[in-house]
Structure 1
């Protein structure tokens, strides 16, 4: 790792990108609530992660339903979505509004109960690991805790269950399944919007910022923060453990990852025999991909109806 020729400005950029990769620099509030989209029956719930970290979520109920979808979110979002439209500091990442509650409302109205929870260090869940995000490497424990909460719940424990696992949350879910396959054997299917290879994403960011020659230094800075290297945060290491039916989505011209082949590789490595990959077209903005099923719910509804 030769950084002898790096300028002070480049070093500052590398350190900024390293922190961006592993530390949620702010929390996204619950700026949208279930009642805003007509979800009348819901409750705040609290349960521990597998390592004891307190997690918080909403349990949104559909009338007379025995079907449940467990949903999580990307970094640095919350179970409500992302409020880039509020301005700084959120707009420093992207100025878009992402509304997950709209997605949850489509599901509830279609007859699914939804347990949407915040990962550690996000939303209203507790801080853990020094506030560092592992893009799945710590957060898999939250996926385990959510499933254990469901299994031990007198009502939820007898329901048919599926997963809506997004980006960081999808990476986490893959690793949770790898580490605890028996816990997830009864999952009917998964919808996985935009699992993220941090190696692809941070390489693209580094190139865009003119520091593509200093990826090893970036990894070193991430380790200093208490995080992982970008390669270590790659969901492809765990994808083979996923055996359930999976519908995965990616933004084909995603400017942030700039590598459709990487998303294709993640999909190809999934251990599922029943799997589909849908490419979202017409945008270069990754964050548009998170809004897709809010605006276009039919594919999502058809997928869940097929298995649950």
Structure 2
């Protein structure tokens, strides 16, 4: 890679089977409720409830099982873009998560004492999400690209550490390949904090977090379980944190599957040993005490604004702000938003990292 400062990356943890690497057509990615270009809810119109008994057609059963598969394991996607393509010097880095899983990422240096650590959404990676390419077009059919935002923040004077969470991108397989929606991935967040503290050039930097979706959930779990690891954090942006149970309930309502959330919970438990109630308790948000900007696509058809409002209200920080992204109902548009409209991010970090 041009302008690469260290070529020490090792690729580990390749998926053990095809399901976890790429979900097949007709399974989760094809059945998952990200049918952005079409009317949601049309697929399962034939579901009906008769005398309290649920009659589920084959399409609805495929939808539930496919969604459970994706929620249980996520899916790996390729790292398609690199910092040098945007004129950025960088190092390829790797470090252990709290439990030893090998985590791979980038360090993008700047001439300052300020550091941002990024934690990405599911099923993205440090680069973004190749939603413009098959077989990943089910999240709206467009690309999510974090590199323009890294460039903007780097040019504003921020050093950057960004990485692939376990079971994503090029990082190792962890927790048996199970996606914990934060209750397992917090180990990666803590690994990134310890890594930054281990580097002579970053250990004393003023540090803030930029955590999206899965990354936000994982960060919040880490703050609950190991608050001492976050004592030096100056601020956070939490972009689209979500309660998995609300995500599932909304999907089943969109698809008009009666008792869909209950049926999903059975399928999810069968694959992971988790029930939906296990994977991200709302009360964990009380552990957030750092100044936090919560941002969310207001009309995101995959979730409910009331869920994000509740997360925001539960956060303990006195210095918090809620920012609604308007003009779209596409969740993944929210991940591109600040790369095109950076001022709220620049203002937030600028006012809290001095």
Tell me if both proteins adopt one fold, taking TM over 0.5 as the criterion: yes
Q: CA deviation at 1:208?
A: 1.9
1:147 aligns with 2:147: no
- Runs of 5+ in structure 1 lacking a partner? none
TM-score (norm 2): 0.82
Distance in 2 (alpha carbons) for counterparts of 1:194 and 1:214: 23
- Equivalent in the alignment of 2:339: 294
Q: Deviations over 1:17-58 (max 9, x none)?
A: 21122222x32211111112221x210000000000000010
- Say which one has the larger Rg: 2
- Equivalent in the alignment of 2:280: 234
Which of 69, 74, 88 is the matching residue for 2:116?
69
Q: What RMSD over aligned residues (CA atoms) do the two structures have, in Å?
A: 1.5
1:22 aligns with 2:72: yes
1:268 aligns with 2:313: yes
Moved more, 232-241 or 49-58: 232-241
- Equivalent in the alignment of 1:43: 91
Q: CA deviation at 1:232?
A: 2.6
More helix by share: 1
TM-score (norm 1): 0.94
Which of 239, 255, 258 is the matching residue for 1:209?
255
Task: Describe the shift of the 1:171–1:212 C-alpha distance in structure 2 as closer, same or farther (beyond 3 A).
Answer: farther
Distance in 2 (alpha carbons) for counterparts of 1:3 and 1:245: 48
Q: CA deviation at 1:231?
A: 3.0
Task: Describe the shift of the 1:212–1:140 C-alpha distance in structure 2 as closer, same or farther (beyond 3 A).
Answer: farther
Q: How many residues matched?
A: 302
Segments ≥4 residues shifted beyond 4 Å: none
Q: CA deviation at 1:235?
A: 5.5
Distance in 1 (alpha carbons) for counterparts of 2:258 and 2:252: 5
Q: CA deviation at 1:119?
A: 0.3
- Runs of 5+ in structure 2 lacking a partner? 1-51
